[in-house]
């Protein structure tokens, strides 16, 4: 039940906090107007951001227009106001109090109230949404929401937490109670309904299988606030389905897509060449970040009988020649990832080193697992079954990497079948635990997360992120202790211990990481002088949430219509501009 109390019960000694002193990171030169043309490899399976099929790539732009009460500044990492103007803490560090900006509005014009935040807890706990992760998290981690008046509420955690982390648990987005009047048959009823948002854009056009258009709210309630002024500048953002990345590149070269991610060496070194670059029509940006790295690796499903054997898992780790992939396919641009939680400072156990490619060790482990017979085709055999596994992945650009790994695995007697699906279908398959091995990554927040990926409550069931089906009671205890620890030192110590167990289990095998992002973009896409942020990367994300979970840094770019017209005329006339290739090291760590 949601506990609603009177304003008089607010603590007498409450100390309201805010932050209007952090530097702005948008450009005063930004101009409004125009359309950003973007793309997606597959059409979303739902407009919901919770429930079945909702955890795909399009979840980011949906959530990016649903604001939190507070967010994190992308450069200072200090808290800044968003829907809430002020916040406060209880003495026991379990409760955060929030004052809602009275100007805050949903996209349908209705005011955002404390009841919308109270409804979020009810919503996430509801069995109707068919979202086990949400059900468990909001029952286990959130005690209650107290509503004091229309604009004041508090959220209490079940555990005390460090103040710089508490908002990540209790600072959840509001949910429009007036929109979700009837929760029965939620999944079907709301599958294609567009819910009201609090952010700068709303979905105004959905053509199934083709495109989705977001339109800027001209009267957006937050447009003149300090940290949002000169941001979210374009009138429309259009996502067009282009199911093949190579075709998407052709669209980009014709100016039908405005920005293209070029971190991949193939694009940066080979494809991002030619007349449109030489003549200065398209700019190149190499932008270094200082951000936690995602969990890029091989996720081995231990519910598969072959992969249930730790010796097999360690054999796979030593048979994976990722260095050859980095050197030959990725041109040495990437670096070997060592640890599940790399880039998290004191939380990272820097002594953990990924298992190196070593065929002798791989053979020893496979032999120890009983796969010591070889078929005529060079694949190991045990009890009449071949050592054959499939790797599921969601982008054809990764095929050359996996082809190299496939051939290297064969040297150890392992047959790897490459199972390429489109991005939405591949992730759906993994969520439903229909994979042997997943080649992929999860991008987390500012602190390591383990419960969703490794706690047994999320194992052996669909629609959770425990892709390895890890079911270890001792690990569960550590994860639970990590979630409840209050001091940073204790949490960091537990995190390092958890990383050690993940390493020893060998069900997640690290591949590579990249401490930068590279993009190419048409010269009419303008960026601030510092063209990105410390943790968010290049400033070309249309909305928040695309770069990092609780950071607000979206919408920094703008479309310069005069430059666009100038460029189009120059292209017709054969006129050139000076080529632009900028390497930004503002936030680079180390040499």
pLDDT in tens, 523-564: 999 999 999 999 889 999 999 875 455 889 999 999 999 999
Given a cut of 50, whether residue 56 has pLDDT beyond it is: yes
The CATH architecture one would assign to domain 295-513 is Roll (3.10)
- For the segment 413-432, the average pLDDT, to the nearest whole number, is 95
Q: How far is 330 from 324, CA to CA, in rounded Å?
A: 9
- Who contacts 52 (Cβ-Cβ below 8 Å, separation ≥6)? 46, 130, 187, 463
Q: How far is 101 from 227, CA to CA, in rounded Å?
A: 14
Q: Name the helix (H) or strand (E) containing 584.
A: strand 581-584
Strands in 95-100's sheet, in edge-to-edge order, are: 3-4, 142-149, 152-157, 95-100, 84-89
Given a cut of 90, whether residue 447 has pLDDT beyond it is: no
**CATH says 43-190 is which class?**
alpha beta
Phi-psi region of 579 (alpha: psi -120 to 50; beta: other; left: phi over 0): beta
- For the segment 566-580, the average pLDDT, to the nearest whole number, is 98
Cα diameter, the chain: 80
Nearest to 455 by CA among 440, 468, 444: 468
Nearest to 511 by CA among 589, 404, 588, 374: 404
Q: Name the helix (H) or strand (E) containing 570.
A: helix 561-573
Q: How far is 110 from 125, CA to CA, in rounded Å?
A: 24
Question: Radius of gyration over alpha carbons of the chain, in Å?
Answer: 25
Give the pLDDT confidence of 137-148 residue by residue, as tens digits: 999 999 999 999
Among the residue ranges 59-68, 225-234, 354-363, the one predicted with the least confidence is 59-68
What tokens were used for 189?
A: 């009823």
Listed as own residue / partner, the contacts of 53-59 with beta carbons closer than 8 Å and 24 or more positions apart are: 53/424, 53/428, 54/131, 55/427, 55/431, 55/463, 55/465, 56/423, 56/424, 56/427, 56/428, 57/423, 57/424, 57/427, 58/212, 58/239
pTM assigned to the model: 0.79
Q: How far is 335 from 316, CA to CA, in rounded Å?
A: 20
Among the residue ranges 166-175, 441-450, 479-488, 511-520, the one predicted with the least confidence is 441-450
Q: Spell out the domain ranges in the chain.
A: 43-190, 295-513
- End-to-end CA, the chain: 54
């Amino acid at each position: 039940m949601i506990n609603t109390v009177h304003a008089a019960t607010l603590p007498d000694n409450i100390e309201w906090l805010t932050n209007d002193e952090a530097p702005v990171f948008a450009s005063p030169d930004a101009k409004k107007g125009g359309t950003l043309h973007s793309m997606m490899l597959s059409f979303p399976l739902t407009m919901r951001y919770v429930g079945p099929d909702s955890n795909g790539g399009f979840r980011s732009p949906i959530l990016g227009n649903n604001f939190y009460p507070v967010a994190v500044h992308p450069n200072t990492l200090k808290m800044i106001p968003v829907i809430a103007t002020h916040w406060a803490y209880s003495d026991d560090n379990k409760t955060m109090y929030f004052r809602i900006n009275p100007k805050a509005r949903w996209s349908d014009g209705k005011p955002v109230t404390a009841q919308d935040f109270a409804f979020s807890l009810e919503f996430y706990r509801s069995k109707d949404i068919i979202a086990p992760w949400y059900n468990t998290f909001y029952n286990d981690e959130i005690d209650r929401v107290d509503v004091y008046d229309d604009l004041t509420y508090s959220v209490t955690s079940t555990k005390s937490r460090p103040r710089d982390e508490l908002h990540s648990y209790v600072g959840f987005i509001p949910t429009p109670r007036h929109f979700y009047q009837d929760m029965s048959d939620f999944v079907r009823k709301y599958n294609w309904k567009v819910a009201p948002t609090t952010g700068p854009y709303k979905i105004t056009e959905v053509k199934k299988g083709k495109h989705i258009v977001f339109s800027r709210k001209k009267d957006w309630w937050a447009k003149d606030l300090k940290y949002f002024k000169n941001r979210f500048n374009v009138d429309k953002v259009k996502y067009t389905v282009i199911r093949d990345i190579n075709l998407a590149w052709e669209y980009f070269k014709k100016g039908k897509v405005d920005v293209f991610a070029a971190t991949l060496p193939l694009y940066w070194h080979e494809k991002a060449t030619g007349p449109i670059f030489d003549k200065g029509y398209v700019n190149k940006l190499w932008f270094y970040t200082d951000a936690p790295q995602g969990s890029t690796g091989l996720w081995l499903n231990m519910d598969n009988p072959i992969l249930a054997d730790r010796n097999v898992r360690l054999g796979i780790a030593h048979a994976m020649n990722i260095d050859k992939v980095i050197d030959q396919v990725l041109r040495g641009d990437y670096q070997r990832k060592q640890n599940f939680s790399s880039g998290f400072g004191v939380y990272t156990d820097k002594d953990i080193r990924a298992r190196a490619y070593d065929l002798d060790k791989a053979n020893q482990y496979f032999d120890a697992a009983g796969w010591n017979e070889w078929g005529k085709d060079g694949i190991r055999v045990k009890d009449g079954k071949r050592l054959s596994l499939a790797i599921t992945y969601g982008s054809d650009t990764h095929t050359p990497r996996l082809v190299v790994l496939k051939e290297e695995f064969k040297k150890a007697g392992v047959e790897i079948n490459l199972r390429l699906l489109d991005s939405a279908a591949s992730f759906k398959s993994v969520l439903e635990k229909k994979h042997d091995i997943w080649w992929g990554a999860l991008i987390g927040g500012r602190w390591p997360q383990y419960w969703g990926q490794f706690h047994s409550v999320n194992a052996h069931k669909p629609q959770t992120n425990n892709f390895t089906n890890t079911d270890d009671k001792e690990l569960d205890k550590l994860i639970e202790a990590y979630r409840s620890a209050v001091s940073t030192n204790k949490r960091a110590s537990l995190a390092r211990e958890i990383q050690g167990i993940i390493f020893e289990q060998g069900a997640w095998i690290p591949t590579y990481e990249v401490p930068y992002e590279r993009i190419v973009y048409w010269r009419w896409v303008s960026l601030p002088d510092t063209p990105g942020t410390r943790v968010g990367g290049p400033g070309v994300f249309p909305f928040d949430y695309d770069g990092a979970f609780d950071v607000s840094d979206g919408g920094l770019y703008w479309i310069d219509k005069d430059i666009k017209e100038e460029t189009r005329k120059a292209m017709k006339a054969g006129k050139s501009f000076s080529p632009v290739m900028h390497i930004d090291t503002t936030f680079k760590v180390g040499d």
